[in-house]
Amino acid sequence: MEKIIARGAEAIIIKSGKNIIKKRIEKGYREPSLDEKIRKRRNRKETKLLEKANKIIPTPEVIESSEREKEIKMSFISGKRLSESLDNLKEKEKICEKIGENIAK
C-alpha cells in the first residue's frame, strides 16, 4: 500500500511497504527539455549524496534510482528526521558543519 507522507516544491515522498519513493515533480512553467534536464541532474546528484552520506551517518539506503522516471527508491528508516532533532541540540551548527565536511570529502 502506498501513502503520501510529504509533499514539497520539488517532489512527492511516498511510503510503499518498507521503502520510500521520492518522485520529482514536473514543472509546467519550465520549457520541457530544460525541466527534464534539471530533474535528471538533481535526481543523480541526490542519489550520489545519499550514497556518500550513508557511509558516515544513518541515511536511507538507495535501492534504485531512475533517471527516466525521476525517482529514487530507498529504504525507510523509522524515527525522527535530522531536521526535527537539530533544534534541540546545543551544538547544531557544529554538527551540521561536520556532516557537510564529511560529505564533501
Q: First-to-last CA distance in the chain?
A: 38
What are the boundaries of each domain within the chain?
2-79
Q: How far apart are CA 97 and CA 21, in angstroms?
A: 28
Query: Residues 79-96: what's their mean pLDDT?
Result: 79
Per-residue pLDDT tens for 60-78? 999 999 999 999 999 998 8
What is the chain's alpha carbon radius of gyration, rounded to the nearest angstrom?
Answer: 15
| Cell numbers representing residue 84 in the block | 526535527
What pLDDT was estimated at residue 91? 83
| Cell numbers representing residue 92 in the block | 547544531
Superfamily of domain 2-79: Phosphorylase Kinase; domain 1 (3.30.200.20)
Q: Which residues contact 15 (CB under 8 A, 6 or more apart)?
A: 2, 3, 5, 76
* pLDDT at residue 29 tops 90: yes
Q: Are 43 and 24 in contact, with CB atoms under 8 Å apart?
A: yes
